[in-house]
Structure 1
Amino acid sequence: MASPSGPALPHPPLEGTARIWGTVALSAATFMNVLDTSIANVSLPSIAGDLGVSSNQGTWVITSFAVANAIAVPLTGWLSQRFGQVRLFMTSVMLFVITSWLCGLAPNMTVLIAARALQGFVAGPMIPLSQALLLSSYPKALAGLAMAMWAMTTLVAPVMGPLLGGWITDNISWPWIFYINIPVGFLATSIVWSIFRKRESPTKSLPIDSVGLALLVVWVSSMQVMLDLGKEHDWFNSGMVQALAVIAVIGFLAFVAWELTEKHPVVDLSLFQNRNFWAGAVAMSVGYGLFFGNVVLLPLWLQQYMGYTATDAGMVMAPVGLLAIVLSPWVGKNVSKHDPRRFATIAFLVFALVLWMRSNFNTQASFGTILIPTLVQGVAMAFFFIPLVTITLSEMTPERIPAASGLSNFIRITAGAIGTSVATTVWENRATLHHAQLAESINQGNATATGILSGLSTSGMDSQQALAQVNRLIDQQAFMLAANDVFYASAAMFLLLIPLIWLAHAPKKGDAGASDAAAGAH
């Protein structure tokens, strides 16, 4: 029901135990959402194996969630005004619980991907609405503290995700990485309803840009399916991949043309007229795509070719948030006092250093050697989100900040899905090249190769078994070298992004955009 005309009075801040429990419930829902972006990473080999598909197809579990989530983010503003923030948040959490249950029950990869896409779509409003409800629960003087507490959950989740996902996969079964959302979701929903049901935001009927939304779904979905299927169908030698590419391009051009002329666009493309917005949004999105692609690639390599269990791979990935948790409050406190372009530059330099360190891995790398770059990466994460969102929003007027935050998040999440597909595709292609080059050296003229084959024959293997064993060793080397190539190229791309940051104007010290950055950083 629409609220009466005239401005609605804001609800007073919560006090005492209501504020504490409200914060806990909202943070738990956010934690559950962010956890699901990382918990499946280390479980991909087990999921792919159980459902009888390749590891490349297993990455669709990640990309389907990300793409659907990205499509839902721009709709949050319209949905919250139409149905109310509290009702929309409650509905989003409960649908997230139901789709999590469906993910765990999935009998095959097709059903799992469909359930993950639904899960990603219904999860879209959860994070922005948890921020909005949390900020309404605190007085303005404590807004910074509220967002710092909220941000801690989004930093702890990437630490817990790989550890929890690995342990569950090794000790129970992978469906339980989805089932654990059910009790958390029910608990968060019941607490939020008891505290916030009388604090509903005013609602009003607004037109929905249905044509723009349909075009958005068409071009984003076509592009992502093209990226996911291309590596299995020889890319543009496949008529299906060509058709998807054409649909994606035409859909994108039609989407841009429509949105630029629509009175109530689902995505406000006029925001790109602002230099700080496009420079910050592009730098953050490309950087996030590189980061997320490598976050998916590393546990795949460790489990498939280094003999790591899902738990061990999770332990390697988990420390990524430790230094981020320590440094993020300091960055958030000081980003308005210093030039955020300097902070963002530090983030990209550290990301480049981390990936360069990984590009020197070999098949003999110890657990500690692989762990160190992950630990250092926490520094980059702390200096990445808040400064870049500060730059992106620094020249936005208050009424345009929600649209700008929604659009930048849409681009970032989409870039993460693209980064996953591109990283795994390049990894496979480079591994094929390295395998061919290494296999050429296995001949009678190579003393090392003949010595290895002779040793294997002496141990009781026939010639076919010996060659199969050598092929496995070549596979391990080829995929290691391919991973090194991806890490090295990613490091170079992070360095190339630094000049883009400096195309933006320096935000004024103490700019309002800095405080809004904390709210939109994740």
Structure 2
Amino acid sequence: MQAKSTPLVPLDGGALALLTLALSLATFMQVLDTTIANVAIPTIAGNLGASSSQGTWVITSFGVANAISVPLTGWLAKRLGEVRLFLWSTTLFVIASWLCGMAPSLELLILFRVLQGAVAGPMIPLSQSLLLANYPPSKRSMALSLWSMTVIVAPIFGPILGGWISDNYHWGWIFFINVPLGIVVLLLCARLLRGRETQTERRPIDGVGLTLLVLGIGALQLMLDRGKELDWFSSTEVIVLAVVAVVGIIALIIWELTDDNPIVDLSLFAHRNFAIGVGCISLAYLLYFGTIVLLPQLLQTQLGYTATWAGLAAASVGILPVFLSPIIGKNAHRLDMRVLVTISFLVYAICFYARTWFTPQMSMASVVWPQFWQGLAVACFFMPLTTISFSGLKPHQLASASSLSNFLRTLSGSIGASIINTLWERREAVHHEWLTEAINPYNPTSQQALAALQSAGFSSDQGSAYLAREITRQGFLLGSNEIFGLSALLFLGLTLVVWLAKPPFHPAGAGGGDH
């Protein structure tokens, strides 16, 4: 059926508030599922009679399927309509979540996680584009502010919620919680978006592009997930995946730029603001998400925090965005988006620099305060950059632009987590070697340390083992401090890049555009 082509009257009042809640809840639910299972892997693997390394496929399978399906959103939305695709995607996500919680074996759980990741792909891009399409142009900055809180804050709460559920309830509730939330989303959206379908068109499927997308992006995501476990390029499997990824992605780019009906609309990068905005979002999210993974690991493995306390220490980043995002959104029309992004990147740089002083004796406040103030950076980050990215695009380009932007952001998060984890371990090895050189019978400091341990009741072997553990801990701390320092410098560099964007920054879908 041909959908309406006339512009829709924006929603207002209670209907608009409920739609914002529903679409933000859908986004929160999907983003949460990218991290909620991480801390529960040992519990899930043990319950299903598998090893922890096998259990990591519960995460990997979702990530690979999701990474492939997100770029398909633009093409599917034009074929089926944005509302219809969103409702079907959410329905299937709820069903897949229930199947994951009911899985009696690891093999079936992985299969259902593949299904869950695949059908979840359109949810985030469409929640964004549907929100923008149904808001009055003057309030779209507010819409993006409210929506962006869920994208940035949800990865923080995933590990906390996952750990709490796995400690106190059956691990299946990690997935079951999506069922009531998803039903609420479906009921609200089906009612509020009735008669508001976007225009559809019959486009032939880009079979070659789809095949190259599956091969290239699937191989890249598998390489990122498996690389650390297999010691990267010392493994034949990782080398093969890298070759397939590089060849597949290069061929995909060439094909999509020349095909009449591309499955991924790379022509959007011809818009200067889209290229600058998406580039900044991707690079900043790479650093942000990488440290989301690094900080809890550092607190738990080297500083003795429990999973719950590590999650709570990191969760303070979500406080300021809750209060600031609506204020920033309401006044965004008076502000230069580049100024807001510059403030965000400078605050990120300061907070990351504050973490370069982490020590084994630091208090919890030393962790919480940089996280808390980083909330200011979060509040000034996503909405302004998304506004810059979408400024000047036509309404019919929003679904494709949103899917491409969210795909690159998600992929950047995976790349960031892999790079930072690997770099952390490599830097620890370097520092471990340097610190070990100082521990020898001829060094007065090491002699004094061993003597002090022996006087405290340690045997010679126990004292040596204690020093070895301390050297490892110091090595990891020094490595993390270097990574935080490098991230601070990169954020400073990004403050210059954002000024390449060209005003005016019209509300998304308002038309116009710079090339």
8 Å CA contact 2:394, 2:510 repeated in 1: no
SS at match of 1:445: coil
- Deviation (angstroms), 1:249: 1.4
User: Any idea what the Cα deviations from partners look like across 1:400-419, whole Å, max 9, x if unmatched?
Assistant: 34333322222111111111
Matched, 1:485 2:482: yes
Q: Within 2, Cα distance between the matches of 1:489 and 1:467?
A: 33
Does the CA contact (< 8 Å) of 2:349 and 2:492 recur in 1? yes
Aligned to 2:507: 512
Aligned to 1:99: 96
- Deviation per CA, 1:123-181, whole angstroms, max 9, x where unpaired? 12112333455566666676666555545555664564454334334433554333322
Q: List gaps (5 residues or longer) in structure 1.
A: 517-522
Is the CA contact 1:3–1:202 (under 8 Å) kept in the aligned structure 2?
A: yes
Distance 2:42 2:481 in 1: 20
The one-letter code sitting in structure 2 at the alignment partner of 1:228 is D
Q: How far did residue 238 of structure 1 move?
A: 2.9
1:53 has 2:52 as partner: yes
* Cα separation, 2, equivalents of 1:401 and 1:84: 12
Closer/same/farther in 2, CA of residues 403 and 195 from structure 1, 3 Å limit: closer
Which residue of structure 1 aligns with residue 363 of structure 2? 366
Query: Is the contact made by 1:159 and 1:319 (CA closer than 8 Å) also made in structure 2?
Result: no
Aligned to 2:500, what secondary structure does the other structure show? coil
* Equivalent position amino acid for 1:428 in 2: E
Which amino acid counterpart does residue 309 of structure 1 have in structure 2?
Answer: T
**2:334 aligned counterpart, secondary structure:** coil
Q: CA deviation at 1:21?
A: 5.2
Distance 1:24 1:396, change over 3 A: closer
Distance in 2 (CA, whole Å) between partners of 1:94 and 1:211 is: 29
Provide the residue aligned with 1:520 in structure 2. Answer: none
The reply on whether 1:3 has 2:2 as its aligned counterpart is yes
Question: In structure 2, what is the Cα distance between the partners aligned to 1:270 and 1:201?
Answer: 21
1:324 and 2:321 aligned: yes
Once residues 18 and 277 of structure 2 are traced to their aligned partners in structure 1, the CA distance between those partners, rounded to angstroms, is 35
Indicate the SS of the match to 1:512.
coil
Instruction: List per-residue Cα deviations over 1:191-234 (Å, max 9, x = no partner).
Output: 44455566555654321212112212211222232233333434
Q: Which residue of 2 aligns with 1:260?
A: 257
* TM-score w.r.t. length of structure 1: 0.85
Q: Which moved more, 1:322-331 or 1:341-350?
A: 322-331
Give yes or no for the alignment of 1:284 onto 2:285: no
How far apart, CA to CA, are the structure 1 residues paired with 2:86 and 2:70?
13
Q: Is the CA contact (8 Å cut-off) linking 2:61 and 2:114 kept in structure 1?
A: yes
Verify the 8 A CA contact 2:63 2:221 in the aligned structure 1. no
User: C-alpha distance in 2, partners of 1:227/1:248?
Assistant: 11
C-alpha distance in 1, partners of 2:377/2:445? 42
Question: Which secondary structure state, in structure 2, belongs to the residue aligned with residue 308 of structure 1?
Answer: coil
Matching residue's letter, 1:99: A
Q: Give the distance between the partners of 2:378 and 2:349, measured in 1 at CA.
A: 12
Paired residue type of 1:164: L
**Residue 411 (structure 1) aligns with:** 408
Kept in 1, the 8 Å contact 2:60–2:222? The answer is no
- With over 3 angstroms needed to count, the CA separation of the structure-2 counterparts of 1:289 and 1:108, relative to structure 1, is farther
Q: Quote the RMSD (CA, aligned, Å).
A: 3.4
SS at match of 2:242: helix
Asked if the contact 2:67–2:121 (Cα under 8 Å) also holds between the matched residues in 1, the reply is yes
Whole-angstrom distance in 2 between the partners of 1:398 and 1:36: 29
Pairwise CA distance, 1:455: 4.8
The answer on 1:120 being equivalent to 2:136 is: no
* Structure 1 position 498 matched with structure 2 position 500: no
CA contact (8 A) 2:8 2:196 kept: yes
2:163–2:308 contact (8 Å) kept in structure 1: yes
Q: Which moved more, 1:32-41 or 1:148-157?
A: 148-157
Give the structure 1 partner of residue 272 of structure 2.
275
Pairs within 5 Å for 1:15-26? 22-26=19-23
1:30 aligned to 2:30?
no
Instruction: Kindly indicate whether the alpha-carbon contact (under 8 Å) linking 2:156 and 2:292 is maintained by their aligned counterparts in 1.
Output: no
Question: Displacement of 1:356 after TM fit?
Answer: 0.8
**Which amino acid is 1:475 matched to?**
T
Deviations 1:231-263 (A, max 9, x none): 343433333222222111111121111111100
Amino-acid identity (%): 50
Aligned to 1:226: 223
Correspondences of 1:121-140 after superposition (within 5 Å):
121-134=118-131
**Separation in 1 of the partners of 2:83 and 2:498?**
37
Q: Give, in angstroms, the shift of residue 274 of structure 1.
A: 3.0
Work out whether residues 43 and 310 of structure 1, in 8 Å CA contact, stay in contact via their aligned partners in 2. no
Q: Residue 519 of structure 1 corresponds to which residue in structure 2?
A: none
